[in-house]
Structures are given as C-alpha cells and as structure tokens.
Amino acid sequence: NAGVMQNPRHLVRRRGQEARLRCSPMKGHSHVYWYRQLPEEGLKFMVYLQKENIIDESGMPKERFSAEFPKEGPSILRIQQVVRGDSAAYFCASSPIQGDTEAFFGQGTRLTVV
C-alpha cells in the first residue's frame, strides 16, 4: 500500500505564474488535508476536503488559492499568480474516516517562487 503521494516534490515558478500541487491519498482514504510550512515555522492548516466536497477551508488565503478533490484523481491545490511569499513546503495528509486520530502525511511539495 503506497503512502500519500505528492508531486512534484520540487516546483519552481516565476512570479505571476500558476502552481498546481497534486496529492494522491493512501488507498482507501477519502479525506485529504493540506498544510503549509513556511520557513522556520510549523505547519499551518489550509483546507480539508472529502471527495467532491470542501469541508473546511478556514486556513486558505482568500485570494489566489483554491483546492479540489474530484471523484476520480488526485486532490489539487492551485495557487494563481504566485508571489514570493508563497514559497513554502506544502504537505498533504490523508485519513480513511472523518475524525481518525492518525493522518498520514506525504513528503511535501517545496514551492519556490523566483
């Protein structure tokens, strides 16, 4: 059973471009969480999704950021018109049921905006 897969592992974008980060949860997991880790900081919650539904997006910036988890395929975190301050590591975690006390984390996507 493969773990949570995130790709790409590293992503470089110029200011103003779009960044698309993908997360494939573990097999059988239908709950996905996105966290952002800024340099020298802990992880901050961004969004929680179930298949085809956004459950909690209280940590998402109001503009330029969006997330989806379609019925088929990976969850996508999209950042439009990236700025230098978006440079961070973005982690995805998944769990099989809501409220499960262990979420499994992927290895993250490290976004660098130049």
Partner 1 sequence: AQSVTQLDSQVPVFEEAPVELRCNYSSSVSVYLFWYVQYPNQGLQLLLKYLSGSTLVKGINGFEAEFNKSQTSFHLRKPSVHISDTAEYFCAVRQTDSWGKLQFGAGTQVVVTP
Number of residues that bind partner 1 (CB under 8 A): 28
CA dihedral 77, 78, 83, 85 (to 10 degrees): -10
Determine the Cα–Cα distance for residues 34 and 29; give it in Å rounded to an integer: 14
Residue 52 lies near partner 1 (rule: CB under 8 A): no
81 residue type, one letter: Q
DSSP, collapsed to helix, strand or coil, labels residue 15 as coil
Shortest distance (Å) from residue 108 CB to partner 1: 6
Residue 53 lies near partner 1 (rule: CB under 8 A): no
Residue 34 lies near partner 1 (rule: CB under 8 A): no
38 — phi, psi (to 5°)? -80, 155
Selected from 27, 56, 78, 83, the binder of partner 1 by CB under 8 A is 56
In eight-state DSSP terms, residue 100 is: -
Residues 50, 110 contacting (CB under 8 angstroms): no
Residue 99 lies near partner 1 (rule: CB under 8 A): yes
Residue 25 lies near partner 1 (rule: CB under 8 A): no
Residue 90 lies near partner 1 (rule: CB under 8 A): no
Site string for partner 1, 59-88 (x = CB under 8 A): ------------------------------
Shortest distance (Å) from residue 40 CB to partner 1: 8
Determine the Cα–Cα distance for residues 64 and 79; give it in Å rounded to an integer: 5
